[in-house]
Structure 1
Amino acid sequence: MPAARLLIGPLLRRVVGTRATVWVETSGPAVVTVRTAAGASGSAPTFSAYDHHYALVVVAGLTPDSATPYQVLIDDEVAWPVPAGGFPPSVIRTRAADDRDQPVRLVFGSCRETTQHATARRLPPDALDAYARRLLADPDPADLPDLLVLLGDQVYADVTSPTVRRLLRRRRKRPKGAPATQVVSFDEYTKLYLESWRDPEIRWLLSTVPSVMIFDDHEVIDDWNTSASWRADMRVQPWWAERIRSGLASYWVYQHLGNLAPAEIAEDPLYAKVMTAEDATEVLREFGERVDREADEAHDTVRWRAVQYQWSYALDLGRTRLVMLDNRCSRVLEPGNRAMLPAGEWSWFLDRAHGVYDHLVVGASLPWLLPPAIHHVEAWNERLADSGRPWVARLAEHIRRSCDLEHWAAFRRSFDALGALFARLGSGTAATSGDRVGAGPAYPAPASISVLSGDVHHSYVARARFDDPAVRTPVHQLTCSPIHNQVPTGLRPLMRLGWSRGPATAARALARSVGVRRPSVRWKKLAGPYFGNAVATLAHTGRQAEVLIEGTTSDGHLRVVARRRLTRAGDGHKSGGGWPT
């Protein structure tokens, strides 16, 4: 049997203290070892599923406040770095043992189709490629960000490249009714990741900068879990069962598993099962079916607590807390009771949101604050979808699906709850027993609260404003999308108009006409909208915060399109509004 080789990776996923996790896919069963130049190391056997082989290696014994090159060995043979690859060494960079005063930099974005030469459409240059090339030109470890935060649509199961389409035609007996150009099986999903993550610059970037991820709809299908009736319609499609279980299982393997901190890996119930199974195919198949089925029970709080697999997670970097929320899989879709998160997971989020830190960052694939006119239209549509008149509800459901009206604004209960949470945190008000389990004392108001989002294929910065003068913390919506995609030219004027006072006033009147009350929070655009491919950086230094959005030029470089201070200089509680560039 030929020796196993490295297919995808290494992906440096989490670095926590003196430990790190490295994810790989190999061509066969093997023992994978990661060894640093300073002597830190870790090994793990691969697990197998669907005739594919994966390992998540925990590297222990790293030196604090260092950047150390590393190798990946497959059965004691060096597989990474690639000889004569022409790239700088991949490194594992650790933070100081006490990193409370150390700056934090988060690079974020969403919506990345495959690279320019592979995509079916002519798109502007890939912003993540451009970012990687800039780091490669001057690979100083001090310039590396602390974390790459990918906010959804890392792969497109329903918009495939010419390369993948040729593979589907050549190798596949298409399931009955399945779209000819879309992936369905787990094996077909693996080709999406292989195509995307083996891009040379991206491969180096992911091997050197730690990353966390969350899915959005295109990892499964456009408008995934829009509504209860959408789920009912999809369930009767003969190919859908395989698509959804494969999509969820492959997401767990390729993305979610690496989101876990070293200490959390052994506690994950699915990880224990796949590692003890000789072949984890049936384990992952059953997992995908069960998790999708549980979404129908998300409104049942007691049952959710007992069985639901949680995709949301949280982590701390210095004095920054990041909470990543699942905006797709676990939605409550019961008409009249819609919610972005089921009650049990919302309680978990509230517990993580309360604490002692300087900066709270909420990662949500869908923007909390949309252009106001679009927000009001979505709220109007949700109200009509709950109408007691069947023809009105059917028409509203048709509009909801046709126009993608399924952001936080279309889950009004969750939109208001998130705003109320931010107001309490921003005023240092104690949580009440009705807000979270085990309510405790008040915490100091953080210096900033930022919601990182993607999905909408344009980038902007918006500032939330609360009626309560006690809210001292600036709250911002930071949207950066797409990394490599584009919004149709004809829709851009409509998105710009969404921020204008006239259309917003008219849309608010429309919502008010069906009984939608005024939003609990107001907001104002500070920068954007920008419609090109972009990547953004959120920087925290002490109690100061600023965001930088960079777009790609026609020759594949990055240029600044927006730069905003999110806190006032010398005052961690007030926003200076930023400055344009």
Structure 2
Amino acid sequence: MTSLELGPVLRHVGTTTATVWVETSERCTVEVLGASAPTFQVCGQHYALVVVEGLEPGTCVPYEVRLDGEVVWPIPGLATPPSHLRTRAESDDTGRLRFVYGSCRFPPTDDPELEASLGIDALDAYAARLMDLVGAADDAAEVLPDALCLLGDQVYADEITPRTERWIRENRDPEAGPGLEIADYGEYAHLYAESWTDRELRWLLSTVPTAMIFDDHDVRDDWNTSQTWREQMAAKPWWPQRIRAGLASYWVYQHLGNLDPETRDADPLYRKVIEADGDVFDLLADFAARADAEVGEPTGVRWSYRWDLGRTRLLMVDSRCARVLNEQDRLMINDHSFAWIEENATAAPGEDDVDHLLLGSSIPWLMPPAVSHVQSIDEWAASRGSRLAETVRQAVDLEHWPAFRASFDRLADLVRGVASGPNAPATVCVLSGDVHHSYAAEARYPSPTRSRVYQLTCSPVRNGVPWFMEYVFALGWWRGLTNVLGRVARAAGIGDPPLTWSTIGGPWFGNAVSTLEVTGRQACVRVERSGSRGGLEPVAEIPLT
């Protein structure tokens, strides 16, 4: 009998449609609420995207998954509430929204010492609490969040668990290729299975629409930090297979479900994949190689995407694979991709105005101000051939938006334009992860804006940070140090940032998950941290309007 290997994962949901992703053990037909789709095959793995159409707007219904007519989800004995499909309402006078976000989730392991050092998984703790709420609720829609946003490092291809290390040693020579890192597509598939099969997370992904974007560890630490980094990796004989596998698996496991059905159906690669008879890895590998080789070029490859959640808009920004890293330019996002972001940041003619604009970037835009100056100074020195600056950049991850100063300023201009317009949203929030601590910062421009502007960072869901970095990040908000480094930057000819910002909460350390809650043009953010007893403990609730 064909089995359900992974999923179901609820992805993009509209007013009348919902997309469900699954991985199966064999070729089959997958059915959800009367809608069906055949599987496609990649390196012997089988997948399907089922688009359920004709749903009623603003409804919440339980669902099952069938493979060739046999019910395989829910799994008997898993003891979870039913999974639900909850559609968006066509109009919502309250404008209510619960948007959960976080990043950097190291998977469960079978090593007690490692488990103790990593701590309680905040997303698992959130899921366990939500299961209790749904199980006790008369109407699941009253307690379910509207969306879950995973802001990078869904898997760790370069930092594997003891269980995966044993699996690699049993299946190939651990001294060959990248050693005890992920080498090919099959090993990436193993990573996703390891990360997405624990009971709590599997249920959460099955019932809350989930948006995702990659960060460096989904491929490799410091991915696309600089042209020097790319040259160093290109010299490794195993790298071409690794990058093709990383981007191909991301396309299958994460990217496809990010897209609304209309956008996905218009994608030529997707059409070729679902129409193919046989394994399609070669198609995906060719696409992945092109996407990687043409970093900085206007190729038309766009990993960024848009979700409209009532009058709240999410623009998820690719801040890894859309970079420009040549000698002439150094940009976080190429012109082609940035133009798309600028075009979608405001309502088009005929669209409703946006009350809240969310910009999802795996790496923060507004860092602690002193750290921001350090990153810009390091970029300036590295661009003048300083080997020390390049070494430091890679050693301590000086690769955030301030290390791409031209792009930092362009994003500042974009946000200022949106926040100052006649139909400005109430808030513009940049949601980020990566830095293994959480904080909220408010930005201010020389001329007041109609919108309030925030950087909201939540990381990690489950990982750690060296103890001394807690002091570094806390010191980064100290005004005295910021002023000193600002003078150094000006002496080097680096202009002042076009805005200022200060913390309104944090920094907080430990495994955490955050929730942005919206009612009309009002908004607040709630940060919760996993506690010693396994649940979530409140850290802060901050009004944003």
Q: TM-score normalised to the size of structure 2?
A: 0.95
Q: Quick check: 1:459–1:531 contact (8 Å CA) kept in 2? A: yes
Partner secondary structure for residue 494 of structure 2:
coil
The Cα of 1:421 is off from its aligned counterpart by 1.3
Partner secondary structure for residue 364 of structure 2:
coil
Q: 1:118 to 1:335 in 2, by over 3 A?
A: farther
Q: 1:103 to 1:453 in 2, by over 3 A?
A: same
Q: 1:382 to 1:542 in 2, by over 3 A?
A: same
Note if 1:424 corresponds to 2:421. Answer: no
The Cα of 1:396 is off from its aligned counterpart by 1.5
The Cα of 1:340 is off from its aligned counterpart by 1.1
Tell me the equivalent position of 1:242: 241
Tell me the equivalent position of 1:439: none
Partner secondary structure for residue 430 of structure 2:
strand
Tell me the equivalent position of 1:212: 211
Q: Quick check: 1:132–1:201 contact (8 Å CA) kept in 2? A: yes
Q: 1:445-460, aligned counterparts within 5 Å?
A: 445-460=424-439
Tell me the equivalent position of 1:275: 274
Tell me the equivalent position of 1:123: 118
Tell me the equivalent position of 1:12: 10
Q: 1:232 to 1:308 in 2, by over 3 A?
A: farther
Partner secondary structure for residue 160 of structure 1:
coil
Q: 1:549 to 1:336 in 2, by over 3 A?
A: farther
The Cα of 1:265 is off from its aligned counterpart by 2.0
Partner secondary structure for residue 292 of structure 1:
helix
Partner secondary structure for residue 376 of structure 2:
helix
Q: Deviations over 1:36-79 (max 9, x none)?
A: xxxxx310000001000000000112222221110100000001
Partner secondary structure for residue 138 of structure 1:
helix
The Cα of 1:135 is off from its aligned counterpart by 0.5
* Equivalent-residue separation in structure 1 for 2:26 and 2:530 (angstroms): 38
* Equivalent-residue separation in structure 1 for 2:56 and 2:182 (angstroms): 43
The Cα of 1:116 is off from its aligned counterpart by 5.4
Q: Quick check: 1:116–1:123 contact (8 Å CA) kept in 2? A: no
Tell me the equivalent position of 1:181: 180
Note if 1:343 corresponds to 2:335. Answer: yes
Q: Quick check: 2:109–2:162 contact (8 Å CA) kept in 1? A: no
* Equivalent-residue separation in structure 1 for 2:175 and 2:4 (angstroms): 31
- For 1:548, give the aligned amino acid: R
* Equivalent-residue separation in structure 2 for 1:351 and 1:361 (angstroms): 14
* Equivalent-residue separation in structure 1 for 2:256 and 2:207 (angstroms): 18
* Equivalent-residue separation in structure 1 for 2:111 and 2:420 (angstroms): 49
* Equivalent-residue separation in structure 2 for 1:152 and 1:507 (angstroms): 30
Note if 1:257 corresponds to 2:256. Answer: yes
Tell me the equivalent position of 1:354: 346
Q: Quick check: 2:379–2:404 contact (8 Å CA) kept in 1? A: yes
**Counterpart pick for 1:133 among 123, 128, 134:** 128
Note if 1:293 corresponds to 2:271. Answer: no
Tell me the equivalent position of 2:350: none
The Cα of 1:540 is off from its aligned counterpart by 1.2
Q: Quick check: 1:100–1:318 contact (8 Å CA) kept in 2? A: no
* Equivalent-residue separation in structure 2 for 1:212 and 1:333 (angstroms): 27
* Equivalent-residue separation in structure 2 for 1:406 and 1:335 (angstroms): 16
* Equivalent-residue separation in structure 1 for 2:389 and 2:479 (angstroms): 25
Partner secondary structure for residue 64 of structure 2:
strand
- For 1:232, give the aligned amino acid: E
Q: 1:173-572, aligned counterparts within 5 Å?
A: 173-174=173-174, 176-178=176-178, 180-278=179-277, 279-295=279-295, 298=296, 300=297, 304=298, 307-355=299-347, 356-387=353-384, 390=385, 393-428=386-421, 443-469=422-448, 471-567=449-545
Q: Quick check: 1:100–1:319 contact (8 Å CA) kept in 2? A: no
Q: TM-score normalised to the size of structure 1?
A: 0.90
Partner secondary structure for residue 57 of structure 1:
strand
The Cα of 1:501 is off from its aligned counterpart by 1.1
Q: Quick check: 1:15–1:210 contact (8 Å CA) kept in 2? A: yes
Q: Deviations over 1:432-469 (max 9, x none)?
A: xxxxxxxxxxx511111000000000000000010013
The Cα of 1:563 is off from its aligned counterpart by 1.1
* Equivalent-residue separation in structure 1 for 2:274 and 2:175 (angstroms): 30
Tell me the equivalent position of 1:93: 86
Q: Quick check: 2:95–2:520 contact (8 Å CA) kept in 1? A: yes
Percent of aligned pairs sharing the same letter? 50
Q: Deviations over 1:243-263 (max 9, x none)?
A: 100000000000001101122
Tell me the equivalent position of 1:579: none
**Counterpart pick for 2:62 among 69, 77, 89:** 69
The Cα of 1:497 is off from its aligned counterpart by 0.4
* Equivalent-residue separation in structure 1 for 2:257 and 2:87 (angstroms): 17
Partner secondary structure for residue 96 of structure 1:
coil
- For 1:509, give the aligned amino acid: R
**Counterpart pick for 1:23 among 21, 24, 27:** 21
* Equivalent-residue separation in structure 2 for 1:449 and 1:194 (angstroms): 35
Tell me the equivalent position of 2:158: 158
The Cα of 1:513 is off from its aligned counterpart by 2.4
* Equivalent-residue separation in structure 2 for 1:135 and 1:514 (angstroms): 52
- For 2:181, give the aligned amino acid: Q
Q: 1:118 to 1:148 in 2, by over 3 A?
A: farther
- For 2:169, give the aligned amino acid: R
Greater shift, 14-23 or 327-336, is seen at: 327-336
* Equivalent-residue separation in structure 1 for 2:17 and 2:233 (angstroms): 43
Unaligned runs of 5+ in 1: 36-40, 429-442, 568-581
- For 1:26, give the aligned amino acid: T
The Cα of 1:330 is off from its aligned counterpart by 1.4
Q: Deviations over 1:301-326 (max 9, x none)?
A: xxx1xx33110001111110110000
Tell me the equivalent position of 2:73: 80
Greater shift, 130-139 or 276-285, is seen at: 276-285
* Equivalent-residue separation in structure 2 for 1:175 and 1:280 (angstroms): 29
- For 1:349, give the aligned amino acid: I
The Cα of 1:102 is off from its aligned counterpart by 3.1
Unaligned runs of 5+ in 2: 348-352
The Cα of 1:150 is off from its aligned counterpart by 0.4
* Equivalent-residue separation in structure 2 for 1:219 and 1:485 (angstroms): 14
* Equivalent-residue separation in structure 1 for 2:97 and 2:230 (angstroms): 40
